Amino acid sequence: MDIKNQSTPNQFMLNLEYGVTLSFSSISNSFTMGDNHTKRNNKGINSLNMSLKCKFSELTDEEAAGAISFLQKHYYYEPQIYNNAGKFTNLDLTPFEFNGGILSPYKTNLKYYCFNFTHEKTYHNCNDINADFVCAAPSILDSVEPKCDYEPRIFHGILDNPVIGSSDNNQSVSIDFNIPSDFDGYLNSTKTLVNKPIFESGSYRTMYPSQEVNLSDGGTYSNDMFARFGFNSKTILTRSDSRNSIFIDDPDDVYEYPFRQIYEDSEGATATTKYKIFDHSPSYSLQIQHSPKYRHSNVLDFYKKFSLYGFNPNLNNLSLEFSNITDEEAKRILLFLESHLGSQKFGFHPPAPYNNSEFSTVNTSPHRRNFSTFICPEWSHTLIYKNNNTINATFIECVRF
Amino acid sequence: MKFLMYEDVPLFLGPASKADGNEGDFIFAADASISISQPSVPRRSIDDNKIRICQFNNGGTYPFASPNFTASSSHTACFGPTSGPPKSLSTSIYKIPKDTKITFPGGKHLYFDHDVFPNGYDYLARLRSESGGWQLSESEAQSGYFEPIFNYAAGGPAAGTLDVTFYTNTGNLPSFFNVTGMSSPTQFPPIDEDKITGHLGDFKFSDAYLKSFKFSVSPNSIVAASASFDIYGALVKDETLSQNYYSTGLYQQKSIAHGETSTIIGTTKLGVDHAVSFSYGIDVERSARYEIGNSIPTRVSKRATTITMSINGNNLDPSLITDAVDNRRANINIYLRDLNYDNFDENSNGLLNVFNCSGVVESQNLSVSSNGYLNGSISIKQHLK
């Protein structure tokens, strides 16, 4: 169907349908020591990839012709043109945008290649197109996301010690917003989001603003807050537009607990985590496959000796599904996983009984205590229907340190 | 309490492309039913009906310390595994109503002291004890069971059907009952995929697409037709819709197709000399495309269109069913007429419509029973488009 080869449109005009699946995968170098402690590094700045597998169904002949022509036209081979420097100027395969973007919550200006597309005429004037799109050159440098705890250089400002008593009703509170002078002069404002929690440092108490109020460095503001358990300590807010994502549009409206999470260490003391905690519960059913590492000798075919191998030999690879979740929760999960770039560790509460007390004297392995650490090298997102998303993710367990 | 009578529930159908449905008609329906459904799936996550308490404070300090519970005492609980870090309540829960009971081992119970609507950031809740003189051990606090109200997600778009049995009452079959009809004579390609709208009583529906149209003719009977529509989208109640329908033509005298005057031509070649009854149906396969962000389809395509006819008579030709399909070809015309009164003032139209089926014989049947005659029946199918 080499039909049109038109210069316009320069965007892919078909809209995606429900059921589209976006897949993310990272390319990294892995270094695993004898105790199964694993370190991963991304291979390059383009090492986190996104691809789409989608179907456009019940297209008219005209719609199908337009779409196929658009996808084909990038491959028309024309006489080579080279400039004075001897460089060919018309051999590059140029990526393209979707008209209006692909779908929420993804950025609308991402560009894609399409290397594989199938056209099926299912009936008279009825056509299906299956196409795989690959996001063009996403850069992990675009991921700008606060890690654990207070990061004043680019991200956070301080709400100074708002004091509210415990109440089941809204209360008026005066709040000061300050950015340390060493770090101001860059994105000096933020805003309170209606009915989104602001966490108290040093605990899990929250206050929920009832109004959206813009805050600037050095200003004092009042707001009606809901704080069921009271609030009496400083807290932080992320400065507007300081965060950025590779794929996700407008990350400011979702966030995680902003501080290092609080737990009890093996000495019985209150401590804080080194990693962010992935605080979402997977759906039923969860299959946990155990494949402990071992060694065996086979000096002879019929004589084998099996031996233990390394510490922490039974680390898990979990295939988790978060099904039928809302758009907001999907955005939180996608942003969390993306910000760890497929190679950085995070904490996760495995379901019972895969957790042990920090004080357990029976299980002395450093992993799978009250929480475990994982990396997530690949995940996928399927939009089932409006506000109905399913995310599949592969979590590879690591030793915590 | 008010139940509406049959005559107070009009059915109105009209092409959606015409402004305000002015081109539509009230339908002289014997019965009509409309149904809309939408699949839903529960949002469940692992152990979302299990409470684990890691601390009875704001989650800021350890080690675990259980309060000495007294009657009607309230305590802030922080959720999560033993020794933390805390874990928020699952978002698969829509609501934990106040007074929801949490059952711990050893017959110990606590109750939620306020409504909780988990939003993914709920690490704390206030729990109440109704009895005193007991504590929770660290391991007991990890095993509380409760029954929350779970969230649901829409599994797909709302869709339904409109089924109507009615009387064909004009010389022209309206386009919304004509599977192969064209709402616009200039349309190209000549495939009419237009949707229709309408209301049953005060319940308005839109984005309806005709799936099938059928009628049957028998001696001394009025001809009843039936139609089935696929409906995409929700029902909307508008109490002004049926206020003025009494002044419409619905209650004027009708000209109705009748078996006494309607005829069928072309059965003799099939061995049926005297047809005593027959039926005609036309069905179309439809398939919908839903684009992201929409809850109604962007396009509902037409696929295979099939006409089926069944003729009952005094005989049949057994030689028709052979491997040679050409021997089984049939060409039938149906002339639907009303009672054809002489006086046109009596709203008589004579010939109402002609239906054709040019297909192949699919099956034959002979039957006889006591107090009856030998009957032959024959079924014909035409793949139209």
B319 pLDDT above the threshold of 80? no
> Do B80 and B174 fall into the same domain?
no
How many Å lie between the alpha carbon of B151 and the closest alpha carbon of chain A?
9
A162 with A127, same domain? no
Most A CBs within 10 Å, among B114, B117, B123, B302, to test the A interface: B123
A256 within a domain of the structure (yes/no): no
pLDDT tier for residue B340 given thresholds of 50, 70 and 90: low
Reported as a pLDDT band with limits 50, 70 and 90, residue B55 is: very high
- Compute the half-sphere exposure of residue B143: CA atoms within 13 Å on the CB side of its CA: 11
**Residue A290 has which token pair?**
């155990």
Task: State the pLDDT at residue B21.
Answer: 44
Same domain, B126 and B161: no
Supply the pLDDT for residue A370: 74
Q: Residue A16 is nearest to which of B80, B292, B303, comparing CB atoms?
A: B292
Question: For chain B, how many residues are written?
Answer: 385
**Mean pLDDT, to the nearest integer, of A276-303?**
85
Q: Which of A140, A170, A191 is the last residue of a domain?
A: A140
Nearest by CB: A383 against B45, B48, B292: B292
pLDDT for A39 equals 83
Query: Does residue A254 sit within a domain?
Result: no
Q: Do A18 and B292 touch (CB under 8 A)?
A: yes
Closest CA to A207 of A186, A187, A237: A237
Position B324 scores a pLDDT of: 76
Whether B75 and B168 share a structural domain: no
> Is A161 in the same domain as A116?
no
Cα–Cα distances in angstroms (integers) from residue B290 to residues A19, A352, A391, in the given order: 10, 40, 21
What is the rounded average pLDDT of the residues A235-240? 88
Closest CA to A25 of A392, A276, A284, A365: A392
Mean pLDDT, range B146-163, rounded to an integer: 94
Residues of B in contact with A202 (CB under 8 A): 60
A41 and A82 housed in the same domain: yes
Chain A residue numbers touching B291 (CB-CB < 8 A): 15-18
- pLDDT recorded at residue B181: 65
Residue B229 lies in a domain: yes
Closest by CA to B31, choosing from B225, B320, B214, is B225
Asked if A284's CB is within 8 angstroms of B155's CB, the reply is no
Domain extent at residue B360: 6-39+157-383
Q: What does the pLDDT read at residue B72? A: 92
Residues B16 and B89 in one domain: no
Instruction: Please name which of B66, B62, B142 lies closest in space to residue A349, comparing C-alpha atoms.
Output: B142
- Residue at B167 is within a domain: yes
Same domain, yes or no: A169 and A217: yes
User: Are A358 and A370 a contacting pair, CB within 8 Å?
Assistant: yes
Domain membership of residue B294 (yes or no) is yes
Position B8 scores a pLDDT of 82
A359:B83 CB<8 A: yes
Q: What is the pTM of this model?
A: 0.90
Same domain assignment for residues A351 and A391: yes
Task: Answer whether residue B22 shows pLDDT above 60.
Answer: no
Same domain, yes or no: A41 and A121: yes
Task: Answer whether residue A375 is part of any domain.
Answer: yes
Instruction: Choose the weakest-confidence range: A189-203, B52-66, B215-229, B257-271.
Output: B257-271
- A263 to B43: CB separation less than 8 angstroms, yes or no: no
Inter-chain residue contact A268 with B85, CB threshold 8 Å: no
Last residue of a domain, one of B101, B131, B153: B153
Q: What is the pLDDT of residue A231?
A: 92
pLDDT exceeds 80 at position B308: yes
Residues A280 and A335 in one domain: yes
Report the C-alpha gap between A322 and A315 in whole angstroms.
21
| Residue A113 shares a structural domain with residue A26 | yes
Q: Return left, alpha or beta for B120; rule: phi > 0 is left, psi -120 to 50 is alpha, else beta.
A: left
* Percent of chain A scoring above 90 in pLDDT: 50
Q: Is A18's CB within 8 Å of B290's CB?
A: yes
Same domain, B280 and B304: yes
Does B282 fall in a domain?
yes
Token pair belonging to B112:
């939620």
In a domain, A369, yes or no: yes
Quote the tokens at residue B79: 């959720």
Between A and B, how many CB-CB pairs are < 8 A? 188
In-domain check, residue B80:
yes
Higher pLDDT residue, A361 or B92? Answer: B92
Euclidean distance between CA atoms A306 and B29, whole angstroms? 81
pLDDT, average across residues A255-259: 89
Domain boundary among A110, A140, A170: A140
Asked whether residue A105 is assigned to any structural domain, the reply reads: yes
Whether B302 and B288 have beta carbons less than 8 Å apart is answered as no
From B63, B86, B153, residue closest to A388, measured CB to CB: B153
The model's pLDDT over A78-117, given as tens digits with 9 standing for 90+, comes to 788 778 887 777 788 889 999 989 999 999 999 999 999 9
Quote the domain boundaries for residue A286: 262-398
Domain contains A251: no
Same structural domain, B231 and B146: no
- Residue B261, CA distances (Å) to A41, B169, B334, B352 in order: 86, 14, 11, 11
Pair B143, B209 in one domain: no
Q: Do B86 and A262 touch (CB under 8 A)?
A: yes
Backbone angles phi, psi at A83, to 5 degrees: -90, -175
> Does B320 fall in a domain?
yes
Closest by alpha carbon to A325, among B125, B48, B85?
Answer: B48
Of B153, B180, B210, which one is at a domain's C-terminal end?
B153
pLDDT in tens, A344-389: 999 998 887 777 666 666 666 656 667 888 999 999 999 999 999 9
The domain tally of chain B equals 2
Does residue B374 lie within any of the structural domains?
Answer: yes
What's the token pair of residue A121? 């005429």
Same domain, A17 and A122: yes
Which long-range contacts does B245-251 make (Cβ < 8 Å, 24+ apart)?
Answer: B245/B10, B245/B12, B245/B26, B248/B26, B249/B26, B250/B10, B250/B26, B250/B28
- What tokens appear for B378 in the block? 């024959």
- The pLDDT mean for chain A works out to 88
Helices (H) and strands (E) in chain A, counts: 2, 28
Which residue from B minimizes the CA distance to A260?
B85
Is B212 found in the same domain as B321?
yes
User: Beta strands of B96-202 (E only): which ranges?
Assistant: 101-104, 108-112, 124-129, 144-145, 149-154, 159-167, 196-200
Q: Do B291 and A15 touch (CB under 8 A)?
A: yes
For residue A329, the distance in angstroms to the closest alpha carbon of chain B comes to: 8
**A288 and A384 in a common domain:** yes
The reply to whether A5 falls in a domain is no
DSSP one-letter string for B121-152: ---EEEEEESS-SB---TTGGG-EE---EEEE
pLDDT value, residue B273: 82
Q: Is A148 within a domain? A: no
**Within 13 Å and on the Cβ side, how many CA atoms surround B246?**
4
Residue ending a domain, choose from B108, B134, B153: B153
- Residue B322 vs residue B100, higher pLDDT: B100
Which of A4-8, A48-52, A61-65 bottoms out in mean pLDDT, i.e. has the lowest? A4-8
Closest CA to B315 of B269, B263, B356: B269
- In terms of CA atoms, which chain A residue is nearest residue B304? A123
Looking at the 3D structure of chain A, how many domains does it have? 3
Interface pTM, i.e. ipTM: 0.90
Who among B120, B123, B302 is closest to A204 (CB)?
Answer: B123
Mutate: best of B127, B139, B287, B289, partner A, most A CBs <10 A: B289
Q: Are residues B168 and B272 in the same domain?
A: yes
Nearest to B150 by CA among A380, A364, A283, A293: A283
Q: Which of B132, B168, B148, B131 is nearest to B259 (CA)?
A: B168
Q: Is position B304 within any domain?
A: yes
Same domain, A182 and A305: no
Same domain, B35 and B47: no
The reply to whether B25 and B56 lie within a common domain is no
* B153–A385 CB contact, under 8 Å: yes
Q: How far is A19 from chain B (nearest CA, A)?
A: 9
Assess whether B279 and B302 both reside in one domain. yes
pLDDT-based confidence at B20, cuts 50/70/90? Answer: very low
Q: Please provide residue A328's backbone torsions phi and psi, each rounded to the nearest 5 degrees.
A: -65, -45
Q: Has residue B111 got a pLDDT over 80?
A: yes
pLDDT for the residue numbered B176:
72
Read off the pLDDT band of B137 (50, 70, 90). Answer: very high
Sheet holding B144-145, edge to edge: B50-51, B144-145, B101-104, B108-112, B124-129, B73-79, B53-55
Residue A200: CB partners within 8 Å, gap ≥ 6? Answer: A206, A207, A231, A232, A233, A235, B58
Do A198 and A288 fall within a single domain?
A: no
